[in-house]
Amino acid sequence: MPVIEARGVWFGYTRRAPVLRGVSLRAGPGEVVALAGPTGCGKSTLILVLAGLLRPSRGEVLLDGRPLHEQLPGARRRIGVLFQNPDDQLFNPTVYDEIAYALRSLGTPEDEVRARVEETTERLGLQGLLDRPPYRLSVGQRRLVALASILVYNPDVLLLDEPTANLDRRGVEAIADAIREAAEQGKTVVMASHDLDAIAELSTRTCILRDGRAECMPTLEALREGLFEETPLPLPLCIRLLRDRLGGWNKLAETIAKARKAKAPGHCFSDTSALVR
């Protein structure tokens, strides 16, 4: 059973122009579902809807098969959200207080808070920054602090908006390790991203938002088999080339939709694989 699911979700900031028009997608334990698509297609909006921070006008979000809105606010501690802009979630005077905030508000004893903050900051390479005010950090460091502030309370579902943006290689690796580790522990991860390397390396499934709906690739393995049997290029490069040669995410999503309808990803992609060679 999926842990988190969007079922025919509609959402618009204004009535006349809905951003999400019947999005359905599911993510189960140990899965990392990547949300891709062009700027403005609604990835961040979908993350906020899945988090229960925006309420769909039609359709619903389910957590463990039950409507999320019926489980709020209690369910919030099961869901960790990393906002696209870390400044939207950092508000404490020091990095330490920021990372400790959720545990303290759950009434965790202070010695346990300290131990867990230290463990999490070490994982993300943030030692040495604990006394600094978050607003004095670089954007990349702020993103790592924001991630630490959710990993520290060990939520079952991680909703991550552009987790690898503005980071150097070490920062990206720290985040990638944290995502992999979370998935290995059976957590459910949904991440919106423009970072094709991160998508290809981390995601177990990629969904592309197009025309307000999600087109989900079968699995990266199926894509690899169907598309690139004879192509020695690494998968991230293949996805990037395909997207660019086909003329963007929308065209790639169309091809996936076609493949899904024909229930033969390899066959439907075979004409495009020639483009990659």
Ligand X SMILES: Nc1ncnc2c1ncn2[C@@H]1O[C@H](COP(=O)(O)OP(=O)(O)OP(=O)(O)O)[C@@H](O)[C@H]1O
Which residues here bind ligand X, judged by CB under 6 A? Answer: 13, 19, 37, 39-45, 84, 192
Q: 185: which DSSP letter?
A: T
Nearer to ligand X, 102 or 208 (CB): 208
User: Could you tell me if residue 172 is left (phi over 0), alpha (psi between -120 and 50 degrees) or otherwise beta?
Assistant: alpha
b/e sequence 15-48, b meaning 16+ C-beta within 10 Å: eeebbbbbbebbbeeebbbbbbbbeebbbbbbbb
- The minimum distance between CB 56 and ligand X, in angstroms, equals 14
- The minimum distance between CB 270 and ligand X, in angstroms, equals 30
Nearer to ligand X, 19 or 99 (CB): 19
Q: 93: which DSSP letter?
A: S
- The minimum distance between CB 32 and ligand X, in angstroms, equals 18
Nearer to ligand X, 158 or 192 (CB): 192
From residue 222, give the alpha-carbon distance in Å to each of 34, 100, 229, 239, 264: 16, 42, 10, 13, 10
Nearer to ligand X, 84 or 92 (CB): 84
Q: Are 252 and 238 in contact (CB under 8 A)?
A: no
- The minimum distance between CB 162 and ligand X, in angstroms, equals 7
